[in-house]
Amino acid sequence: MLLEPREFRLLDGLRINPRKSFGGKVRGERLTTKKGISIEFADYREYSEGDDLRHLDWNVLARLDAPVMRTYRDEEDLAVHLLVDGSASMAFGEPSKYVAAQKLACALGYIALNGGDGVIPRNLGKREAKFPTLRGRANYPRLSAWVTQPREIETAAEGLASSLRAFTASSARTGVVVLLSDGLDPEIPLALRGLGGRGHEVLFLQILSQPEMDPELEGDLRLIDVESNRTTEITANSYALKEYRRRLAEHNKAIADSILRIGGRYALVQSDVTVEKVLQSVWKREGWVR
């Protein structure tokens, strides 16, 4: 099940907290700005022939002799797209970035299912059959089984940016996109803007391993790109490591700026982080959940 009993207890009662309002596909538990028949009052409008008299405001009619209707905010489900990066670079780290992404995806998916949202999981990195929308707490075992099913991530056929562009171009309904990835693709900032242009609200949790964030290398080395198999020979000295950290910081800032520009949320965590730590320091503090 990936999550421990204590972690389930920490997540109970929480809900995904989007900034936007999205139209739902089926009736759910989330208020939207659309007019509907929930108990949350929205506005008044003039009576039209054929209107349901149960929503006529009789007090206004008695005082002003003017028939007006009370309108309400509708309750619909929110589409939560769980995008887990399955590209080859995610296998790096101890624990691996992919393992961290799996556990955090289950945690956010559990919150969404508990809140009555529609959860649609998707693995980025290779083509897979479309997974059906999951709804309700009872479907958490199906989500957990999907997340943990064996995948050959070292043989991923697609890069992160190209996978995101494919998702953006798909018929997936607009909603909250939860992206769990290391973001190590130079084209990722542009791909993220495409998601925003499609109308999605993006929550990007970037996961890097400790050696990637603060490498301890020295000497003459040959580096191999696990996704392209290209090699680069370097001399790992203080200057090279300083330049690496500078470029990584610039890349991460470009990601954060892209997310900010499209009205999303961004956070960087280390692959050995706990669900409780992310919940307290990111998701709750920065308003991803409430």
Tens of pLDDT, residues 125-136: 777 888 999 999
* pLDDT above 60 (res 22): yes
Same domain, 72 and 166: no
The pTM (predicted TM-score) of the whole model is 0.81
* pLDDT above 60 (res 275): yes
Same domain, 208 and 277: yes
pLDDT in the model for residue 31: 47
* pLDDT above 70 (res 260): yes
- What type of residue is 99? V
Neighbours of 286 (CB within 10 A): 13
User: How many whole angstroms separate alpha carbon 59 and alpha carbon 85?
Assistant: 56
- 290 inside domain: no
- 19 inside domain: no
Same domain, 95 and 140: yes
Average pLDDT value for the chain: 87
Between 265 and 26, the more confident residue is 265
Between 224 and 243, the more confident residue is 243
pLDDT in the model for residue 39: 53
Q: What is the 3-state secondary structure (H, E, C) of 184-226?
A: CCCCHHHHHHHHHHCCCEEEEEEEECHHHHCCCCCEEEEEECC
**Final residue belonging to a domain, choices 19, 51, 76:** 76
User: How many whole angstroms separate alpha carbon 240 and alpha carbon 129?
Assistant: 43
Same domain, 88 and 225: yes
Here the CATH number for the domain that contains residue 101 is 3.40.50.410
pLDDT in the model for residue 223: 84
**Final residue belonging to a domain, choices 76, 97, 114:** 76
pLDDT in the model for residue 74: 47
User: How many whole angstroms separate alpha carbon 125 and alpha carbon 90?
Assistant: 10
Look up tokens 């730590």; give the residue: 277
Domain around 168? 5-10+77-284
- 219 inside domain: yes
Same domain, 34 and 87: no
Same domain, 162 and 39: no
* pLDDT above 60 (res 36): no
Between 40 and 2, the more confident residue is 2
Number of domains in the chain: 2
- 18 inside domain: no
Same domain, 84 and 71: no
Same domain, 162 and 173: yes
Same domain, 176 and 46: no
For 140-192, the pLDDT digits (tens) are 999 999 999 887 654 445 789 999 999 999 999 999 999 999 999 999 999 99
For 143, left (φ over 0), alpha (ψ -120 to 50), or beta?
alpha
| Nearest Cα to Cα of residue 99 among 205, 188, 213, 2 | 2
- 131 inside domain: yes
Same domain, 62 and 124: no
Distance of CA 197 to the CA centre of its chain: 16
* pLDDT above 60 (res 24): no
For 81-114, the pLDDT digits (tens) are 999 999 889 999 999 999 999 999 999 999 999 9
Same domain, 122 and 50: no
Mean pLDDT of the 51-71 span: 81
Mean pLDDT of the 189-201 span: 96
How many residues comprise the chain? 290
Confidence of residue 289 (pLDDT cuts 50, 70, 90): very high
Same domain, 260 and 143: yes
